[in-house]
Structure formats: structure tokens, C-alpha cells
Amino acid sequence: MPATEKAAGALRTIGELADEIGRPQHILRYWETRFPQLRPLTRAGNRRYYRPDDVALVRRIHHLLSDEGYTIRGVQKLLAEEKAARPKGAAKGLKQIRDSLSDALEADKA
């Protein structure tokens, strides 16, 4: 693996992500103001670190704007509709699965 290539789950800086999608950094900062779903980690000095989910969302926003011809407002509407269409109990079900797996691991240790 080349030195500049990161693992799939690694955090990306705003510069790395901007280079990857071919947009300037200020565009990513602007998107953060327009898409509440996009919330990278911020560290000292307001440095931004994008998690894998953030990277996927940025790629999707970029694709919708650049390739599909959506406007900012159109992408906002699409993302909001998708969020509303998600089943409400999905996160709760995942928590229950996680908890039962955690319990099973604890019981296995004993």
C-alpha cells in the first residue's frame, strides 16, 4: 500500500477528501452548513476529520450535484425524504442485537 493511501476505515482530513473528489476545501465547509447530516469530527484548531460515513455522504452529495444535476436544495430534499422513509425501529433493533451479543460475550468469558 503506498504511503499516501489510507485504510478504508481511516479518518480523512478535509484536504484529503477535497483532493479525492476534486473540489476545494471551502466547498466541503459550505456543504457542512447546508447538510446537517454531514458532521465531521473537529479537533484542536478546528481541524476536520471525516469518518467513513461522512466520506460516503460527501461522495454521494458530490455525485448528485456533479453527475445527476441536482441542486443543493434538491439534494437536501432527497436526503430528508430518505431519512423520513427509514423505519423508526431500525436503530432500536440494532441496539438490542448489540446488547445481546455483548451479554453472550460476557457469559462466554465466565
Indicate which CATH number applies to the domain containing 85.
Answer: 1.10.1660.10
Q: What is the reported pLDDT for 1?
A: 41
Residue 12, H or E segment: strand 12-13
**Average pLDDT of 1-27?**
85
The answer as to whether 22 is a domain residue is yes
Confidence class for position 17, pLDDT limits 50, 70, 90: very high
To the question of pTM greater than 0.85 for the whole model, the response is no
Q: Is residue 4 predicted with pLDDT exceeding 60?
A: no
> How far is 49 from 26, CA to CA, in rounded Å?
15
The predicted-structure confidence for 94-106, as pLDDT tens digits, reads as follows: 777 877 888 888 8
pLDDT digits (tens, 9 = 90+) for 53-82: 999 999 999 999 999 999 999 999 999 998
Say what the pLDDT of residue 59 is: 97
Domain span at 89: 12-109
The pLDDT > 70 percentage for the chain reads: 87
d(CA 53, CA 91): 16
Mean pLDDT over the full length of the chain: 87
Q: Note whether residue 5 is domain-resident.
A: no
Residue 6 in domain: no
Which CA distances in Å does 88 have to 37, 41, 92, 94?
A: 17, 26, 8, 11
Domain count, the chain: 1
